[in-house]
Amino acid sequence: CPKHKDTIIAFVLGGPGSGKGTQCEKIVETFGFKHLSAGDLLRKEMVSDSEYGSMILDTIKEGRIVPSAVTVKLILRELASGDSHKFLIDGFPRSEENRIAFERITGSEPNFVLFFDCPEEEMVKRVLSRNQGRIDDNIDTMKKRLKIFEALNLPVVDYYAKKGKLHKINAVGTEDEVFEQVRRVFAQVST
């Protein structure tokens, strides 16, 4: 439950293809957090019988952001299920509107925020070579995702930097090199 006093919530931010999901899996293995990928939750909702299915599909295809009400509901459901009290929320909040909705609805703020800092050309290369059939992994949608990231997600990153909650990670390097930086942050803040 997000309100429990021992609850730890970490937001994991970074541009498309910066390595959020990859590093979250390693954090789960090493530090025992539960991983909630907002994008994965939306993709699952999209292929279910949900009334939001076609809206989510259209939104992801255009690289735009699904309304907060929908995403926060999916995240809340996961926060409340199971008995974990340490959560990684990957790929959310993507806008100030998302951030404010989450804080209002849950009454909580993240304990800390990871930010994977990655040059655009590296993100493009990673996304276009991923090959897992995602409808947004094509050059046209990727350009839109990058624009939206810059316009709407970077202000959220700045917000947490000003609050002293942001831990910036250099996302360039091997997965293990990146994780070494992540490990240091978690060793420092979550024990």
Rounded Cα gap, residues 17 and 12, in angstroms = 13
Residue 94 annotated as binding? yes
Q: Which stretch binds ligand UP5 (CB under 6 A): 26-34, 91-99, 160-168, 180-188?
A: 91-99
Write the interaction track for ligand UP5 spanning residues 127-156; mark x where CB under 6 A is met and - where it is not. x--x-----x--------x-----------
Planar angle of CA 49, 106, 182, nearest 5 degrees = 90
Q: For Mg ion, which is the closer residue by CB, 148 or 164?
A: 148
CB 142 within 8 A of CB 128: yes
158 binds, among ligand UP5, Mg ion, none (CB under 5 to 8 A by kind): none
Q: Does 59 bind ligand UP5 (CB under 6 A)?
A: yes
By the rule CB under 6 A, 36 interacts with ligand UP5: no
Interior angle at CA 37, CA 39 and CA 107, nearest 5: 105
What count of Cα atoms within 13 Å lies in the side-chain half-sphere of residue 31?
Answer: 26
Q: Where are the alpha helices (DSSP H) in 32-174?
A: 38-47, 53-61, 68-80, 96-106, 120-128, 139-148, 154-162
Nearer Cβ to Mg ion (90/110): 90
Minimum distance between the CB of residue 53 and Mg ion, rounded to whole angstroms? 20
- The verdict on 25 binding Mg ion (CB under 5 A) reads no
Collapsing DSSP to helix, strand or coil, 146 comes out as: helix
Torsion of CA 21, 23, 28, 34, to 10 degrees: -40
110 binds ligand UP5 (CB under 6 A): no
Q: Are 33 and 27 in contact (CB under 8 A)?
A: yes
Residue 99 annotated as binding?
A: no
> Is position 64 annotated in a ligand binding site?
yes
Q: Which residues sit at the interface with Mg ion, rule CB under 5 A?
A: 20-21
Q: Give the residue numbers of the binding site.
A: 17-22, 43, 64-66, 91-94, 98, 130, 134, 145, 173
Q: Which residues sit at the interface with ligand UP5, rule CB under 6 A?
A: 14, 16-22, 38-39, 42, 59-60, 63-66, 71, 91-92, 94, 126-127, 130, 136, 145, 173-175, 178
Q: Give the residue numbers of the binding site for ATP.
A: 17-22, 130, 173
